[in-house]
Chains A and B, each alone.
Chain A
Amino acid sequence: MLSISKQLESRFSSDEIERIIASRLEKFNPVASAPGDLNGSIGCACNKLLNDDTCPEIDETSTVIGPDRMWSVAHAGKTEIYKYEPVALHS
């Protein structure tokens, strides 16, 4: 039986790989960044240029425990009409 890593080598076909790359490179600009810098890990993530999603705020790599969970806009106080909730942006 093939190991998991061997099985994963066929997860994406060659055509799929090239489609994924082409899609991501459409947004590629070495001095441009998608809106928001929302990775919870320290390191160079705050300077991302190219992501695997359109926007880091829907970046599934940052949703597990990323900054969307570290959100500090939790002004949960109610007003006359609206209430406000922090939101996991990937949801």
Chain B
Amino acid sequence: MQEKQRYTNMNLSHYIVNTKHFGEPVYFNTVTKMILPESSSQETLSEHFFLEGQEKLALDQALFNQSDKLCINVNPTWECTLRCKHCSVLTQLVARQKHKLDVTGLISFVEKALTNSKYTHLLYCFAGGEPLIEAATINSLIEGTTALLTEKLPHIVFNNTITTNATLPLDDTIQKTLHLMNKITISVDGNEKEHNEQRHAYKATFNPFQTTLANIRSMLDMGLLEKMDIQASLADDVLTKEYAAEFMRTFLRMGINKIKIGSIHPTNVYKKPTENYFGNLKNARIRPIPCCKFRYGAVYSTDASGKLYDAVWEWSRNELGTIYDDPTTIYKNQVTNIRNQFPCFKDKTCMSCPVIGVCWGGCVNGTTVIKDNPSAYCDQKKTLQMVTDYANDNTITTLSGCKIKKAE
């Protein structure tokens, strides 16, 4: 008979799941993602926050454990060739940006952050606006950062990604940018009619869909297939199996098989969630790490203003300082932001939920819907069942992102 009562040991924290690892009974802490054998002493269990009353300590350890990966979402410009109805930064866009990204300043910040730190990886995610408008700036930033790392921090693994609408002519500068990327995400939001309805050209008259497709072919000719993926946000009224099939067919015929389809999330302009988004929000899933806004020491955003943010939504709530600040100031401000804004902290149901560590209250882009009440928008029962099932299958540790093996 399948064991389902896995959360009843009153001596243990709310966040502990009984499971097995290599056949051995173990406790799995869904928040800290640690495992201890069931035979562990009280002292060991206490040391790793496995006991009742240690939930807050476990949450603090999980939330404020400095990452070894530093990701900076770089928005080099808020200019864009399109004005998309569903754009999450529509209110940020400008016709002409006055300032340029301070490449030297950002590299200096990165140097300070990486030096004598536990970081082993650096990632720039370029977005915007249409980031390729500032291709020369991007190239300068990557080249400067590469020079820094080569000279002073050779142990740091450095990668770059870009999300683009691929509407600009691929001149030499842009081609160079694309070759510098490890991953290129191209936004295509439906078949031609729906894409063009959603993605309006700004000022210039052109067909966004055909322009993007032509550039995708050019990128393929540049040998970029392995780096490319297509990312779609489809409106509720078109998102049927047949429509999705036709959409995928377009790109599979071009030889591209990395295709992601999603719903449209609420934006600063259109705050009402679409039905698919709403349904998706309430759908149980395993989300082993907190949303990007709440990844301490891991994910930041910046733009030409030189400000640093912890997320790309609700900008006014997200400022942490500037690239000219010492990183320790940024980390300190991030702790304050997380403590003040992490929705689960304000939701008693979340705080006592055994699967908070595989949910974390959802994605911050749902803030306008969720506010400080994530538990009203979740399917706790199903999430619990998923965790129990994964535990029974001995797959929970893999799904939660830990590879666990016996110490030598």
> For A57, what are the chain B residues with a Cβ–Cβ distance below 8 Å?
399, 401
User: Are A12 and B253 closer than 8 Å at their CB atoms?
Assistant: yes
**Count of A interface residues, CB-CB < 8 Å:** 62
User: Are A70 and B406 closer than 8 Å at their CB atoms?
Assistant: no
Option from A34, A41, A43 in Cβ contact (under 8 Å) with B285: A34
| Min C-beta distance of A38 to chain B, whole Å | 8
- Per the 8 Å Cβ criterion, residues 1-55 of B in contact with A are 21, 32-37, 40, 44, 48
B344 at the interface (CB under 8 A from A): no
Contact with A along B252-290 (1 / 0, CB 8 A): 111111111111110000000001110110010111111
Option from B220, B285, B287, B402 in Cβ contact (under 8 Å) with A4: B220
Chain A residue nearest to B222 (CB atoms) is A4
Given contacts A83-B407, A89-B401, contact A70 B299 (CB under 8 A): yes
B384 at the interface (CB under 8 A from A): no
User: Are B241 and A52 closer than 8 Å at their CB atoms?
Assistant: no
With A and B bound together, what is the CA distance between A23 and B160 in angstroms?
31
User: Are A44 and B407 closer than 8 Å at their CB atoms?
Assistant: no
| Min C-beta distance of B380 to chain A, whole Å | 15
With A and B bound together, what is the CA distance between A15 and B402 in angstroms?
38
> For B265, what are the chain A residues with a Cβ–Cβ distance below 8 Å?
44, 46-47
**Interface of B: prevailing SS:** mixed
| Min C-beta distance of A58 to chain B, whole Å | 10
| Min C-beta distance of A61 to chain B, whole Å | 4
State which of B101-109, B136-144, B148-156, B179-187 sits at the interface with chain A.
Answer: B179-187
Option from B32, B62, B404 in Cβ contact (under 8 Å) with A82: B404
> For B257, what are the chain A residues with a Cβ–Cβ distance below 8 Å?
12, 20, 52
Option from B229, B245, B276, B363 in Cβ contact (under 8 Å) with A49: B276
B296 at the interface (CB under 8 A from A): yes
| Min C-beta distance of A51 to chain B, whole Å | 6
**Count of B interface residues, CB-CB < 8 Å:** 98
Given contacts A8-B225, A43-B185, contact A49 B263 (CB under 8 A): yes
| Min C-beta distance of B398 to chain A, whole Å | 8
User: Are A30 and B239 closer than 8 Å at their CB atoms?
Assistant: yes
B96 at the interface (CB under 8 A from A): no
Given contacts A20-B248, A21-B252, A47-B280, contact A42 B401 (CB under 8 A): no
Given contacts A43-B231, A67-B289, A79-B48, contact A4 B223 (CB under 8 A): yes
Given contacts A28-B244, A31-B276, A50-B260, contact A75 B401 (CB under 8 A): no
B348 at the interface (CB under 8 A from A): no
Chain A residue nearest to B236 (CB atoms) is A30
Contact with B along A1-41 (1 / 0, CB 8 A): 00111011101100001001100110010111111110111
B114 at the interface (CB under 8 A from A): no
User: Are A64 and B227 closer than 8 Å at their CB atoms?
Assistant: yes
With A and B bound together, what is the CA distance between A35 and B390 in angstroms?
11
| Min C-beta distance of B207 to chain A, whole Å | 19
User: Are B401 and A86 closer than 8 Å at their CB atoms?
Assistant: yes
User: Are B182 and A65 closer than 8 Å at their CB atoms?
Assistant: yes
With A and B bound together, what is the CA distance between A78 and B36 in angstroms?
10
User: Are A42 and B262 closer than 8 Å at their CB atoms?
Assistant: no
Chain A residue nearest to B26 (CB atoms) is A82
User: Are A81 and B252 closer than 8 Å at their CB atoms?
Assistant: no
> For B259, what are the chain A residues with a Cβ–Cβ distance below 8 Å?
52
Q: A41-B161, A48-B261 are in contact. List 12 more A-B contacts (CB 8 A).
A: A11-B255, A12-B253, A24-B248, A35-B399, A36-B286, A41-B231, A47-B365, A61-B185, A72-B62, A75-B32, A79-B44, A82-B405
Name 30 interchain pairs, CB-CB below 8 A, sorted by A. Answer: A8-B220, A9-B254, A25-B244, A33-B285, A41-B161, A41-B185, A45-B185, A45-B260, A47-B280, A47-B363, A49-B280, A51-B261, A52-B259, A57-B401, A65-B160, A70-B298, A71-B69, A71-B401, A72-B62, A72-B69, A72-B289, A73-B288, A74-B65, A74-B68, A79-B44, A81-B406, A83-B405, A85-B402, A86-B401, A86-B403
